[in-house]
Each structure stands twice: as C-alpha cells, then as structure tokens.
Amino acid sequence: MNFKQFTTAAFLALIGTTAIAQHKCGVGVEDGALIKERMLENRRNVPVEQIQAFQNSRAITYVPVKFTIVGDNNGVGYCDIDQIFAMHCDMNNDYRTQDVQFVLKDAANSVRYANNTSIYNDGSGSSASFWMGTNKIAGALNIYTSASVNNQVASYYSPFGDYIFVLNQMANGSSSTGSHETGHFLSLNHTFYGWEGTDFTGGTAPNSVGGSAVERVARSGGTANCASAADGFCDTPADYISYRANCPYTGGGTDNTGAAINPEESLIMSYYADACVDSFSPEQKGAIAADLIQRGWQSLAAPSPTASVSGASVVGVSPIGGASAPLVNDVVLTWNAVPNATGYVVFVERTLFGSSIETVSKAIVYGTNTYTVPAALLSYPRQYSWKVKPFNQYQTCAAYSAPFAFSTTAPATAVEDVFKTSAEMTILSNPVGSMTADVLINVPNATTASMLLYSMDGKQIVNMNGVELNSGDNLQLLDVSSLNNGVYVLVVTTPEGSLHQKLVVQR
C-alpha cells in the first residue's frame, strides 16, 4: 500500500526536525486528498440550509464510538483503560461546542479487546490495516489503539478503512489526538493540507507544493483561493506549518504575493503544540455537521442514562478498613452500586505502608458492583488496596474512588495436614531385645490414640485403646514379652491420622 508507505516516510522525515513526543498524525497528502474529496462532496450534496437547520435544531448529537484495545496474540501490550477513558473524556470536551457527544457503543462490553500481533507490531502495516478495516463495529466511530512496537507510526485516520488508529502513548487526556483524528474522520483536513512532509522554513512560499495549490493569505479578491486550496475553508487562515510548532507563529513567512501568513494556532486540525489547540472554525463545524448528516448520524438515540457519575461517592463494603483475612479463596470486592453507573474499572494494587508497589489487576466489570480477585493473583501476608471508577456510555470522566485497604494472612491449615507433616513415631532400640519396647510418639496436638500391633501375616496381636497423647513427645511402653522373634508392624491411629513403624523382636 504505497500511500501508507508515503505516510510513514513523511512521518520519518519529520522526526529529524520535531519533537516526536508530541507528533500525532500520520495522515499524509494522499489520505488527505480522499478526505478533501469527501468534504467537497458533502459540500455539494448537503445544502447549507440543511446544515444550518441541523446545527440550530439539535441539542446534542450522540455519536457512538467503539474503542478496540489491541494487544499481541497473547494479550500483551494493551493500552491502559484509564488512558482510553481520558481520551474519550477529552474528545467530548473538545466537541462540546459542536453539540457532539461521543458515547460508548453498547452498555455491556463497551470497550472491546482484541489480540492481533500484526497490529501490535505495526499499526499501519497492510495486514493491520486490513484487519482493522474489516473488523469494525458497524454504526460507530471505530478507534483502535495498540503499541505498534516495530513502527512508531503516528496515529492516523484511514479514509480507505474509515477507522482511526491511535498509538498507545497518544491515547490520553492531553494530546488532542483523539479529537484531531476524529476531525479527519468527520471530513476535516489539516489546516496546512498540501504541506505534509514538506517543511516551510520561512521566506516566500511557492505557488504550489507537492502538486497542490498553496493557500494564499487573502480571503477575497482576485488572488484568494481559500475555498479550494489547502483544507478548503476560508475561515482557517493560510497555514504552512506541517511540523509540531509552538504558538504563536513567529516565522515571518509570506505567501507568493508577499502577504504575511498569520495561522490560527488554536485549531485542532493544525499541528501547533497540544497546549495551543482547542477549537474548530465555524466552517469546520459546518463540514462536521454535513458529514454527520451524510453518515445518517444526525439523530441517533441517546444512551441510557445520560447522567454523569462520580467516583467520589463510591462506598466500599468489603473488604475495607485494612480488614485482615486468611487467604483461602478468591477475594470478592464489594461496593455500593453508584447511581447511573453501568460499569466500573476495578484497580487492585499491592501496597507497602499504604503506597502502591505493584499492580495486581485492573479490570472492567459491567452491571455488577462486585469483582472477584483470583486467589492466584494474591499472596500472604501482604497489604492490598482497591478502588473503583464508575462509568456509563455517556461519560467516562469520573475519578477513582478513595482506596480501600485489606490484608492477607496465611490460610489456617487443617489439623490433618499438620499431623501429616509433623507427627512422627520412633521405636527406640529397634530391634527389641527386651520384654518392652520404648516407643517415642510426637504429635502436634493432644489426642487419643489406639496402638495396634500386627504380625506380617496381618494378624492383630496387640490392641491398646484410649492411649492419651500430649502435644509434643510421648514415651509409650509396649509389652512385647509374649512375642516371638520376628517382624511386626506397629500402627498408632488418632482421629487426625495414623503412624506406622516396623518393629523387630530379636532376643
């Protein structure tokens, strides 16, 4: 797929000149051409009056979003669910002025997990792109996240597959990546479209770059080309900066007529630093509305409920307050259900003096206010804490609850097990040459025993019942005066278990 190779090459070209940490988009010129085509098609097909009526009429447009968290074939490398929720929350903050609310598709299994080593290795490879394009959840904005360990491609929107891919480290509440790529999904191009892969270093810009007309500064008059050049919007000023830059722009560049450019650094579809961007222009908003109409998403039903939830209100039930219990079975965490929550992220950590030292598990539960921590993930004696973050389809911005502490102790061992591992019997001076045998019996707990002596042919010869044994060593005398020389078996039986020993009489 040549277009993706180009995108990657463009991205790699940028690495040398910009801070990689903030780079966020792999949409190149070829992808952008398709996005622009769709935007212009929407512009032709959706009358301005319809867009305006839609914008005026709607309270909130609910756009279902399906996050798919992709690990390798063994489930390694999932993006942290907290990052996903932070990104979702940030997208809603950015699109609030559009009256767009991204809602998790489906109340149960709202977030999908998938294992695919191709994507884990290279999020823009052809097999990865094919899988993501063909495994979308219908009727939703599909956003895939993965590590892409062998190819740190930027995050991107694919106009071919109509899905978004976000690098794990770009999925967060501060990078604007989700909002930027969603802008592409909704037909918006970069404000600097045409300059992808080309650095503008100041001076006078050419008439065209990479075959595309360069947008001029003028908004009207004979030289104005803003309606067709670059992103096709006249309320997004000419912008030639296709690399991560700080705001404001101070490069002093001009268009080919000599007019100084003055980019709008707050536009989310620009490449200005994350801290600079937070807005869409009115024409961009109109294009977003047109694309929602074209997708038939202008009146999708609201999820239920449409209420915010808070982690601060979570009341832990058990185990809490440092409760200590022997670790015997799985530990069931319980809290009071939070109003309007349809699911919870449950975070269990091992602690030392109250501070986290290790993650035990982080899991999502739906429709329940309990979570079972498998005993296999716990040990003893140890300190743990757990906390929960409630959410619903409408809102994933809640903080975690306060932590609830518990500790584990060694499981109580059954008396039978203790007897088995510690009780012992020794016949002193064996072979026995006298009329009595001295038998040393050690038991962990006081008990009552029977002492039975058998000949080798299985015949019971001695039977002493009700022998009281103390905890620890007991010396018992066994009368063997009537026994002939030979080999016998002494069996001591207690309610907790039995002891066996060969006894040899040899006078």
Nearer to Zn ion, 234 or 269 (CB): 269
Please tell me the distance from the alpha carbon of residue 433 to that of residue 507, in angstroms, as a whole number. Answer: 4
Of 62 and 156, the one with the shorter C-beta distance to Zn ion is 156
Contact 155, 170 (CB under 8 A): yes
Stretch in the footprint of Zn ion (CB under 5 A) among 22-30, 297-305, 367-375, 444-452: 22-30
CA 389 to chain centre: 13
Q: Which of 14, 25, 427, 483 binds Zn ion (CB under 5 A)?
A: 25
Q: How far is the CB of 100 from Zn ion (least distance, A)?
A: 18
Binding mask 271-310 for Zn ion (x = CB under 5 A): ----------------------------------------
Half-sphere exposure of 56 (CA within 13 A, CB side): 6
Which among 172, 406, 404, 174 has a CA at the least distance from the CA of 311? 404
Nearer to Zn ion by C-beta: 277 or 441?
Answer: 277
Output the smallest distance, CB 318 to Zn ion, in A. Answer: 48
Minimum Å gap between C-beta 32 and Zn ion is 8
Assess 480 for contact with Zn ion (CB under 5 A). Answer: no
End-to-end CA distance of the chain: 96
Q: Nearest-CB residue to Zn ion?
A: 25
CB of residue 228 to Zn ion, shortest distance in Å? 20
Pairing of strands 61-71, 141-146: parallel
Dist CA 265 CA 127 (whole Å): 36
Compute CA distances 249 → 109, 147, 245, whole Å. Answer: 44, 33, 8
Query: 277 or 449, CB closer to Zn ion?
Result: 277
Distance in angstroms (rounded) separating the CA atoms of residues 376 and 379? 8
Contacting range for Zn ion; rule: CB under 5 A; set: 26-34, 121-129, 423-431, 481-489: 26-34
Site for Zn ion in 34-73 (CB under 5 A): none
How big is the chain, counted in residues?
A: 507
Q: How far is the CB of 327 from Zn ion (least distance, A)?
A: 50
Contact range with Zn ion by CB under 5 A, out of 24-32, 40-48, 242-250, 353-361: 24-32
In the chain, the largest separation of any two C-alpha atoms, in whole Å, equals: 130
164 lies in the binding site for Zn ion (CB under 5 A): no
How open is the CA angle 397-70-295, to the nearest 5 degrees?
70
Interface with Zn ion, residue 27, by CB under 5 A: yes
Q: How many of the chain's residues bind Zn ion (CB under 5 A)?
A: 2
**Residue ranges in 196-225 that form contacts with Zn ion under rule CB under 5 A:** none
Q: What is the 3-state secondary structure (H, E, C) of 9-56?
A: HHHHHHHCCCCHHHCCCCCCHHHHHHHHHHHHHHHHHCCHHHHHHHHH
**Residue span binding Zn ion (CB under 5 A) among the ranges 20-28, 46-54, 342-350, 436-444:** 20-28
Asked whether the beta carbons of 87 and 166 are under 8 A apart, the reply is: yes
Residue whose token pair is 């743990």: 384
Query: Cβ closer to Zn ion: 288 or 345?
Result: 288
Kindly indicate which of the ranges 17-25, 42-50, 57-65, 128-136 contains the residues binding Zn ion, using the contact rule CB under 5 A. 17-25
Toward Zn ion, which CB reaches closer, 25 or 505?
Answer: 25
Choose among 150, 143, 156: nearest CA to 79. Answer: 143
**CB nearer to Zn ion: pick between 67 and 165:** 165
Residues at the interface with Zn ion (CB under 5 A): 25, 27
